[in-house]
Amino acid sequence: MIGFVSPQRQAIIKLQVFGVLQNAEIEVVVDTGFNGFLTLPTTLIEQLNLETVGSVLVELADGSETFVRSFETIVLWNDAEHLIRIQETAGMPLLGMRLLENHEIHIGVRDGGAVTILPLKN
C-alpha cells in the first residue's frame, strides 16, 4: 500500500470502506498513538449506513476518557476484505495500530513524501 505525506506532515493512505448500500474510498491518517483499527466521522458512518454494535471507552490525546459508538464494517486491506471494528469520531479518519499489526511502515517525512505499508515477512 502506498500513500503520501501531507503538507501538515500527516502520513495518509487511501482505504476502501464497504457500507450497507455503498462503498467509499477515503483518505486516512496513520496514527501510531491509536491502538484500534479505524475511526470514521459521523457523516461518513451515516453515508455508509452502518449500524451501531456498541460503545467503547477511549482515552483521548488530552488524557480524558469518553465513550464513543463502535461499528463493524469491511475494509479492503492488502487486496483482501477484512471485517473490522471502527470507532466514531468528529475528526479525520484515523488508521490505528490494530490494522497495522504484522506490517511495517516506511514514511518519507517531507511534503509529498512516500508512505509505504508492507506485510512483515515470517
What are the chain's domains?
A: 10-101 (2.40.70.10)
Distance CA 96, CA 30 (A): 6
Q: In this structure, what are the phi and psi dihedrals at residue 23, rounded to the nearest 5 degrees? A: -115, 165
The per-residue pLDDT for 58 is: 83
From the list 63, 60, 82, the residue with the least C-alpha distance to 72 is: 82
Q: Does the predicted model carry a pTM greater than 0.85?
A: yes
Handedness of CA 70, 41, 104, 117 (dihedral sign): positive
pLDDT mean by block of 10 residues, the chain; 122 residues: 95 95 94 93 94 88 88 94 93 94 96 96 80
